[in-house]
Amino acid sequence: MLTHIHIRDFTIIDQLELDLENGMTVLTGETGAGKSIIIDALNLVLGDRADSGVVRHGCARTDISATFDISAITAAQAWLAEQEMDAEDNSECVLRRTVTNEGRSKGYINGSAVPIQSLQTLGDKLVDIHGQHEHQSLLKNDMQRQLLDDYAGHANLLTQLAATYRQWKTVGAELDTLRSATQDRDTRLDMLRYQVHELETLALSENEVNALEEERTRLANSGRLLDTCQTALHNLYESDANDIFTVLGRTLGELEQLRTLDSRLSSACDLLNSAHVQIEESANELRHYRDTLDLDPARLTWVEQRLDTIHQLARKHRTAPAALADLLTTLQTELSSIEHSDEHLQHLQNQLAALSHTYLEQARQLSASRTRAAHDFSTKVTDGMQPLGLAGARFEIALQPFATDGRSRHPASRDTSASMHVVPTATGMERVDFLVSTNPGQPLKPLSKVASGGELSRISLAIQVIAARSSHIPTLIFDEVDTGIGGGVAETVGRQLRTLGESHQVLCVTHLPQVAALGHHHLHVTKESTKGTTTTRIRALTDTARNEEIARMLGGVEITAQTRAHAKEMIGQAKKKKARA
């Protein structure tokens, strides 16, 4: 559960420390005080998109952290262990997010810098937030399908189905490519055989081009190389009394005699001795090079012809000369593939048939589970709608197959799915539709066709409450989801949220005293303006202060003794009654 929030320099919040407890906690305050800003801050630390506009005016950056007790959240523990970010006692987790006034954002988990996507992934295991405008997203079929699948616990099955679908699609595309290639098979075969024969005849070896280029340069300049080598050898070693070796040896002998007279000549003598030896070795190397130097004009002609052949083939195939060997391997592979295309075609067809069978089995399993979950979910939502001012209303989830004219539109389906009469997708073979009848005797219509905004809001609330009851996520946040209701309906909503608070940590931002009175804990949000600066403050209410806040919510500007008595009675009734779902 969420145990602590720290917010610094976020919109109109300068500094906020907030400790949270189990049960249902309500947040109340005047409109604009900043109740939902706290939820926005929590959304940010859970990976929402951010820009520089969230940074408090005049500040360098926003800094938000949220501490969670994860001792009972095995999914979060497993994820953290997998990412090697788990704490020593594995019972606490800290998420942190910073945003600069230049728009740069960073995320941290247990002190380790992470991509924002990681905050989202872990956050999905810790907190479930229901916003006041969530009924708008509930009008979308994708959201309806996701909500049903979450309710039914289909995460693993959907992952398996999506993986099978991707394989099926890949094999189908490969099969189509092979079929297209088969149409001009004979022409392509003749061309490939000729090109492969030509390159195999060339028999270009690895690094041969570079070696030939070097050899051609050497052969083309062999005369100059021989002359220069002979002159160097003569000067160094072979001119009798005047070559460098002889002169250096004579000089070294004279200095060696003087070394005994002055030891400071020793270093110079050692260096000259080393040079004398190196000149002799250099002369030996030059002599060997001269004797092995090739002056073969015929070899030069062959090398030039060989390079010319290589470059002509490289231009023909529009590739670098050194890449011809790799090109041969590619062409040989393609030739082998076409020559054995019938076998490969049969293999792909068999593979596609197996994937089709696997997909259908998984999709039918998913459909059957969705059918059961849809019936259960529909019954519970229908029951939940009755006390929300929707007596006689019905809710039903319809599963509509993606019907076709008898064939799947999937490219692979022509051979293996002739009997399939629905369009396969990565999420199954049917669309999920939420249908509603708000009055007895009226037909069920899509949720998007419900005319009244107030009815839509209450239906959305019933759906969210039922979905939350089945949630394994410990912290549920409801941000003004009770907008547009009041009276006895509001009390019913409060009781439902309080019931959720018995098994989950529930945070509820509300304007309704009927809901606020039913909270286990009460936080009051205020906005203060001093010296031209506006800040948001929040504090936990004592029993007396809470009674005063409920009275304010009931009575408006002028709070009477009767209003205070009514508020006290509402809080007392909430404590006495066991909340009913």
Range 399-421 average pLDDT: 51
pLDDT value of residue 84: 86
pLDDT value, residue 418: 41
Q: Which long-range contacts (CB under 8 A, 24 or more apart) does 124-127 make?
A: 124/473, 125/73, 125/75, 125/76, 125/79, 125/473, 126/2, 126/46, 126/68, 126/70, 126/73, 126/76, 126/93, 126/95, 126/473, 126/474, 126/475, 127/2, 127/42, 127/46, 127/473, 127/475, 127/476, 127/477
Looking at residue 405, its pLDDT comes to 44
DSSP 266: H
Q: Is 255 exposed, middle or buried (0-12, 13-18, 19+ CB in 10 A)?
A: middle
Token code pair at residue 153: 């616990």
Instruction: Give the span between the Cα atoms of 467 and 477, in whole angstroms.
Output: 13
pLDDT band with cut points at 50, 70 and 90 for residue 579: very low
What is the model's pLDDT at position 444? 92
Residue 130 in any domain: the answer is: no
159, part of any domain: no
Q: What region, left, alpha or beta, does residue 404 occupy, with left being phi > 0 and alpha being psi -120 to 50 degrees?
A: beta
pLDDT bracket for residue 577 (50, 70, 90): low
Q: Considering the chain, what percentage of its residues have pLDDT values greater than 70? A: 93
Q: Region 424-433: what's the mean pLDDT?
A: 91
- Summarize the confidence of residues 163-175 as an average pLDDT: 92
Predicted confidence band at 66 (pLDDT cuts at 50, 70, 90)? Answer: very high
DSSP string, 557-580: TSPPHHHHHHHHHHHHHHHHSPP-
> Looking at residue 421, what is its pLDDT?
52
Name the average pLDDT for the chain: 85
Model confidence at 445: pLDDT above 60: yes
pLDDT reported for residue 168:
93
Diameter over CA atoms, the chain: 131
Contact assessment for residue 94 and residue 69, using Cβ atoms and an 8 Å cutoff = no
Backbone angles phi, psi at 533, to 5 degrees: -120, 135
Distance (Å, whole) CA 313 – CA 325: 11
- In a domain, residue 452? The reply is no
Please answer whether residues 236 and 283 qualify as being in contact, where contact means their C-beta atoms are separated by less than 8 angstroms. Answer: yes
Distance (Å) of CA 282 to CA 31, 229, 237, 246: 95, 11, 9, 14
pTM of the full predicted structure? 0.61
- Helix (H) or strand (E) holding 414, with range, is helix 413-416
- Our count of domains for the chain comes to 1
Do 410 and 424 form a contact (C-beta atoms < 8 A)? yes
Residue 580's pLDDT is: 44
Which pLDDT does position 132 carry in this prediction? 61
> Across the strands, what pairs with 536?
527
In the beta sheet, which residues pair with residue 478? 130, 508
β-pairing, 505-509 with 521-530? Answer: unpaired
> What is the distance between the alpha carbons of residues 522 and 6, in angstroms, rounded to a whole number?
18
Tokens of 527: 């906005």
Rounded percentage of the chain residues whose pLDDT exceeds 90 = 34
Is the model's pLDDT at 67 over the cut of 90? yes
Residues of the domain holding 225: 189-339
Examine residue 533 and state whether it is found in any structural domain, yes or no: no
Is residue 328 one of the residues assigned to a domain? yes
Q: Is residue 439 part of a domain?
A: no
Q: Interior CA angle at 111 toward 106 and 117, to 5°?
A: 45
Residue-wise DSSP of 322-381: GGHHHHHHHHHHHHHHHHTHHHHHHHHHHHHHHHHHHHHHHHHHHHHHHHHHHHHHHHHH
Among candidates 446, 471, 466, which has minimal Cα distance to 456? 446
Extract the tokens encoding 186.
């004979």
Residue 274 makes CB contacts below 8 A (sequence gap 6+) with none
Q: Which tokens hold the place of 561?
A: 């003794």
Asked if residue 402 is part of any domain, the answer here is no
* Spatial distance between the Cα atoms of 278 and 252, rounded to a whole number of angstroms: 14
The pLDDT score that the predictor gives to residue 10 is 92
As a dihedral over the C-alpha atoms of residue 556, residue 560, residue 564, residue 569, rounded to 10 degrees, the angle is: -100
Q: In what order do the strands lie in the sheet with 13-19?
A: 13-19, 2-10, 61-69, 92-100, 105-109, 112-114
Lowest-pLDDT choice from 142-156, 391-405, 476-490: 476-490
> Quick one: CA torsion of 194, 198, 199, 204, rounded to 10 degrees?
170
Torsion angle of C-alpha atoms 362, 366, 372, 378, degrees rounded to 10 = -170
pLDDT at 89 over 90: no
Q: Long-range contacts for 549-555 (Cβ within 8 Å, ≥24 apart)?
A: 549/28, 549/516, 549/522, 549/524, 550/513, 550/516, 550/517, 553/28, 553/511, 553/512, 553/513, 553/516, 554/513
pLDDT digit string, tens, across residues 247-282 = 888 888 888 888 888 888 899 999 999 998 998 899
The confidence band for 404, taking pLDDT boundaries of 50, 70 and 90, is low
- pLDDT > 50? residue 156: yes
Decide if 168 is inside a domain: no
Task: Give mean pLDDT, residues 303-307.
Answer: 89
Number of helices followed by number of strands (H, E) in the chain: 20, 15
Q: What is the pLDDT of residue 581?
A: 39
Confidence of residue 426 (pLDDT cuts 50, 70, 90): very high
pLDDT digits (tens, 9 = 90+) for 498-556: 888 888 899 999 989 999 999 999 999 988 877 777 788 888 999 899 999 999 988 86
Which segment, 118-132, 361-375, 422-436, 476-490, is predicted with the most confidence on average? 361-375
